[in-house]
Amino acid sequence: MSSNISSTTPEEISLRDSLHDLVQKWWLILGVLVACVALAFIATSFTPKEYEARTRLLIVPRVQQTLLGNELSVEALSTLATARDLMRSIIAELNLKENTGEPWSVEKLAMMLTPTVETAGRAGLQTSLPLLTVTVKGSDREQVQKIAETWGTLFVEQNVQLFATEAANSYDFLASQYVEVDKERAATQNSKLEYTGTHPTSLQKNQLKTQTMQYEEFTSQLATKQASLIGKKAQLERAQQEIASQPQFITTKRSVSNDALVSILANNPNQRTVDALPELTVEDQQPNPLYTSLKRDISEGQITIARLTAEIGDLSSRTSALGISIVDLTNKIDVAESTIADFDRRLELLNNNVETLAKQVGDARLAKAEQRGIIRIVEKAIEPNAPIAKHRIRIIIAGATIGLLLGVLIAIVVNYLMPPKVQTKKA
């Protein structure tokens, strides 16, 4: 007689025996499965109702030309949708507070928002328009609607400048520059009018013309008088030389008349008188007419020379003063014309700048008007009437799956910790 004794240990259990042991613990697996299904059912029954509202924005292609090159990435839009400053603005706008009175945290609000990006094609075009949708979930249906609506409004306000063209962004700057340049142009024009009023170049030119003619006349008169003075001086010199050789009086001798002789003898009846009678003569003196004429010419010449000298001095003084006035007036006219030309150049430059800025302001105004449609709210948030589906069947199936796996795992652990008894077989 022979006997075979077989003992089983955890290391020697076959797969078939392990499955057999698991099947024997079906009650444990079933219990865990039922418990998980029950918990899933209870969880879906007692969790608060959840509502959702959404706002959808359409972003036109201009955005793609200003952000991230020519493409607007999904990550960029998602980041902008839950930006911290935007979350703070929503919290402040709706005055969202905890039960303790503290404002909501940015993280809490961001947890309620789910941004998604889609693309909508244009008919006949290759481009696609980004559609940014933000879904807000929460237990208060009125609150989720307000959050979704406020998010759309504030998103447009805060990001329209980011998505706008450079021309639209520069409108305010260009408009202020246009006003400043236009004011400067008006001020320059007024300054020019004021300057031309105090510096009338046309009147000054007429005055210069008159003074120039008068100066030429004075110069001609001065030359004539100077030539006359030289002639008069030469005549005076010749007269003075000639008068020096002429006697003032002409003396003539004649014999004494008989009556005079008788009278002489009657007064001096002596021999000496009688002896002297043959030698007695009478001298007569008459003014020299040539001397007198020369004397008169010299006197008149001196008077004429004195007069001409005085007139030449006066003319020289007046001509010199007039020449200085002409030079000063010419300089004034040159300075005035140079200043007016400078005003004209500045006005030409300012007019060109005003025209350029006016065109740029017009383009920027048009771009700014167009930028309002860069981000468009195509679907406004409405207050939800019913809570969103809880997916109870899906949750129960997930709970059952988890319960089954957990039950099998517990059965394996139990089987490992509590191995079956050793069996002895006899032949």
Length, in residues, of the chain: 427
Q: Spell out a b/e string for 384-414, using b for 16 or more CB atoms within 10 Å of the CB, else e.
A: beeeeeeeeeebbeebeebbbeebbeebeee
Residues 90 and 146: their CA atoms lie apart, in Å, by 10
- For residues 57 and 139, state if they share a domain: yes
Q: What pLDDT is attached to residue 121?
A: 55
Q: Once rounded to an integer, what is the mean pLDDT over residues 86-93? A: 92
> For residue 15, is pLDDT > 70?
no
- At 78 the pLDDT is 84
- Strand pairing report for 3-4 and 425-426: antiparallel
Average pLDDT value for the chain: 79
Closest CA to 301 of 251, 234, 397: 234
Q: What is the pLDDT of residue 369?
A: 65
- Tell whether 151 and 226 lie within a shared domain: no
Report the candidate in 89, 103, 83 with the shortest Cα–Cα distance to residue 153.
89
Q: Which of 167, 150, 81 is nearest to 116 (CA)?
A: 81
Tell me, yes or no, whether 211 and 317 share the same domain. yes
Backbone φ and ψ for 397, nearest 5 degrees, come out as -65, -40
Q: What digits encode the pLDDT tens for the residues 187-233?
A: 999 999 999 999 888 998 999 999 999 999 999 999 999 999 999 89
- Report yes or no on 119 lying in a domain: yes
CATH number at residue 74: 3.30.70
8 pLDDT higher than 80: no
Distance, CA of 305 to CA of 97 (rounded, Å)? 117
Locate 214 and state its tokens.
């008068």
C-alpha angle 107-108-112 in degrees, rounded to nearest 5: 110
147 within 8 A of 112, measured Cβ to Cβ = yes
H or E, element range at 421: none
* pLDDT for 219: 93
Q: What is the pLDDT of residue 67?
A: 39
Q: Is residue 405 part of a domain?
A: no
109 assigned to some structural domain:
yes
Is there a single domain that holds both residue 95 and residue 146? yes
SS3 call for 255: strand
**Assigned domain for 264 exists:** yes
Domain end position, chosen among 379, 400, 422: 379
Helices and strands (H, E) in the chain, number of each type: 13, 8
For residue 389, the model assigns a pLDDT of: 60
pLDDT score recorded for residue 250 = 78
Measured CA to CA in angstroms, residue 111 lies from 16, 107, 108, 134 at distances of 50, 6, 5, 12
The whole-number average pLDDT for the span 258-287 is 68
Residue 252 lies in a domain: yes
Tell whether 388 is covered by a domain.
no
Confidence of residue 124 (pLDDT cuts 50, 70, 90): very low
pLDDT tens-digit readout, 48-83:
678 889 999 887 755 434 433 445 567 778 888 889
Domain that holds residue 286: 201-323
In a domain, 143, yes or no: yes
- Report the C-alpha gap between 47 and 42 in whole angstroms: 8
